[in-house]
Amino acid sequence: MFKTTTAPQDPMILQLLPIVTQACEILREEYQRYCSGADFGVEHKSDDSPVTQADYRANHYITQVLSQVSNLPLLSEEGVKSERMQWQKFWLLDPLDGTKEFLHKRPEFTINLSLVDGSKTTFAILAIPGEYSAYICPLEGQPLKYDMQTMTWYEYASVDSEVPVQVGLSQSARNKPEYGTYLDALANLCEYSTYYAGSAYKFCMMLEDKVDIYPRFHPTCEWDTSAGQCLIERIGGGLVDFKGRPFIYNQRETLLNGRFIAYKNAAMKNLALKALKQMNH
């Protein structure tokens, strides 16, 4: 949960928040245009995933403005990726995470912006344009939340988890049998309820006490998880592969992630991995 707090004085937050706020405005405009039935550009990439004029417009804006305030390189889903292995410190961006949600007229899409230093994420902003909110993981301290409409700041405050355990799942998990098998294994260990949502939105819902465990069996990329991992690690949770190792960034030839379990705290980690173990027996 979050409690109201005073505005941060962190120069990085003060520099980046206006950029993300404006990018949210751009995506809301594009979303309204798409939902109104106006002519709207949608293409498909080589992996058959959709990319829209909204992705490109948000990417162009953030890329341009970020280069004016930071001399660090930017690795974006919609940008050039050839030189990234030489970078020690860089921005990682998904200008519209949840393009499929966008196209299904579900406002669960996000902007994911994070700072990777070495192999770890040290700072992150995860914004939900449809809710006028941004979740921020500063370089130090607890995550913050910013309400763009009221210009109110909040700071994360932990609360005891409610029963039953809340499992966050992607909308696309509904038709993938592995998730059903996992939930069956989890049912042997605890009571649970399911929470379906798109994109990195589920990480935000972990901060809002609506998700305790988020299993992922189908592919994501590094820009899908970096910001969310940073935020949930800061509250004592995490994101690990099926051997319990935290994800690291920009260390491999591929930007594709393997399967993972995200969790809100140590108790949820133990439960999630135990269910995984049972599932594989």
Based on the fold, state whether residues 77 and 116 are members of the same structural domain: yes
Domain count, the chain: 2
**pTM check: above 0.95:** yes
Based on the fold, state whether residues 120 and 182 are members of the same structural domain: no
Based on the fold, state whether residues 192 and 111 are members of the same structural domain: no
Does position 151 have pLDDT exceeding 80, yes or no? yes
Torsion of CA 7, 9, 14, 17, to 10 degrees: -40
Q: Which two tokens mark 38?
A: 């106006």
The pLDDT of residue 112: 98
- Cβ atoms of 274 and 213 within 8 Å: the answer is no
Based on the fold, state whether residues 134 and 17 are members of the same structural domain: yes
Does position 157 have pLDDT exceeding 80, yes or no? yes
pLDDT in tens, 37-77: 999 999 998 888 899 999 999 999 999 999 999 999 999 99
d(CA 54, CA 143): 28
The pLDDT of residue 23: 98
The pLDDT of residue 280: 78
Query: What mean pLDDT comes out for the span 246-275?
Result: 96
Residue 92 DSSP one-character state:
E
Residue that finishes a domain, picked among 156, 176, 206: 156
Based on the fold, state whether residues 129 and 228 are members of the same structural domain: no
Based on the fold, state whether residues 125 and 196 are members of the same structural domain: no
Residue 118 DSSP one-character state:
T
Based on the fold, state whether residues 147 and 176 are members of the same structural domain: no
Based on the fold, state whether residues 73 and 18 are members of the same structural domain: yes
pLDDT in tens, 228-254: 999 999 999 999 999 999 999 999 999
- Cβ atoms of 268 and 275 within 8 Å: the answer is no
Based on the fold, state whether residues 183 and 75 are members of the same structural domain: no
Distances 229 to 67, 112, 187 between C-alpha atoms, Å: 25, 11, 26
pLDDT in tens, 163-191: 799 999 998 899 899 999 999 999 999 99
Query: What mean pLDDT comes out for the span 65-91?
Result: 95
Query: What mean pLDDT comes out for the span 266-280?
Result: 94
Whichever domain contains 24, its CATH number is 3.30.540.10
For 37, how many CA atoms within 13 A lie in the half-sphere containing its CB?
0
Average pLDDT, the chain: 95
Identify any residues that bridge with 143 across adjacent strands, giving them in sequence order: none
Based on the fold, state whether residues 152 and 245 are members of the same structural domain: no
Query: What mean pLDDT comes out for the span 190-217?
Result: 95
Find the domain containing 100 and state its range: 2-156
Share above pLDDT 70 across residues of the chain, in percent, rounded to a whole number? 99
Based on the fold, state whether residues 111 and 214 are members of the same structural domain: no
